[in-house]
Structures are given as structure tokens and as C-alpha cells.
Amino acid sequence: MIKIYAEDVLTRFSMLCGTEESDTYQMLCCDTAAEIELAERADCSEDGRAVLTAAAAALAFYRYVLSAAGTGEKSFCAGDVKVTAAAASPESARKLWKGAADTAAPFLKDSGCFLFGRIGP
């Protein structure tokens, strides 16, 4: 197993969401780094570090977008002009996370989503 560094996850996360507020999202990135690290296969080598770090950052970004979606639209008006901040799409963030998770799959334990068995009497 390898260590997933939260600082590296935070750097990638910052690039995804375009923010420099690293202190604000440090715990989110620590949590996703630990979560991905727990899901690593026992035989995971250094070859998987970049892919797993990217997966942790994508998961952090997905959770960030989901939480932002729950806070509503951020905008302000100045006379007849209304300015609305663009929000990331939860569906796009989910696709980013799914793609990163698929890429990292060879380095992660089986999630147990499938059960192969016999149905019968």
C-alpha cells in the first residue's frame, strides 16, 4: 500500500475548482485521501500514486460541487444588471469522479457491487 498525500490531493482539487482557498478545503481533501487510501489493494505500488491522487481529488471536487448545489445560486444586482456566479454541474462532477474511479480501479479493492451466484430453488 502507498500513502496518498492530502497536500497533493488539495493541489489537484484547487486546479479542478479554480480556487486558492486551500485552508477552507484542506479537511475535505484529507478525508477523500484517507478514503481512497483505505480502498487501496494490499499490493498497490508507487505506480498507482498519481491515479489514486487524481481519484481522491475528483471525489473531493464532486462532494464540493454537491455541497455548493445545496446552497443555491450566488448572485447580486446593481440597478438593471444582475451578475450570477457560474456553478459547476453536479452531473459533470459525477462524471469526472466516475472516470477517475474507473481509471483507479486496478489499484482499488473490489467494491463488492456484484454478486455472482445461482438463483434457483
Whose cell is 451466484? That residue is: 117
Per-residue pLDDT of the chain (121 residues; tens, 9 = 90+): 889 999 999 999 999 988 777 778 999 999 999 999 999 998 888 999 999 999 999 999 999 988 877 655 555 566 666 655 555 678 888 888 898 888 898 888 876 655 555 666 6
Distance between CA atoms of 97 and 83, rounded to whole angstroms?
29
Whole-number pLDDT of residue 108? 87
Q: Are 36 and 56 in contact (CB under 8 A)?
A: yes
Whole-number pLDDT of residue 75? 59
Whole-number pLDDT of residue 17? 85
Whole-number pLDDT of residue 23? 77
What pTM did the predictor assign? 0.74
Whole-number pLDDT of residue 8? 96
Distance between CA atoms of 5 and 57, rounded to whole angstroms?
11
Whole-number pLDDT of residue 97? 86
Q: How far is the CA of 41 from the CAs of 3, 9, 26, 34, 101, in angstroms?
A: 12, 19, 25, 14, 14
Whose cell is 462532494? That residue is: 63
Whose cell is 487501496? That residue is: 40
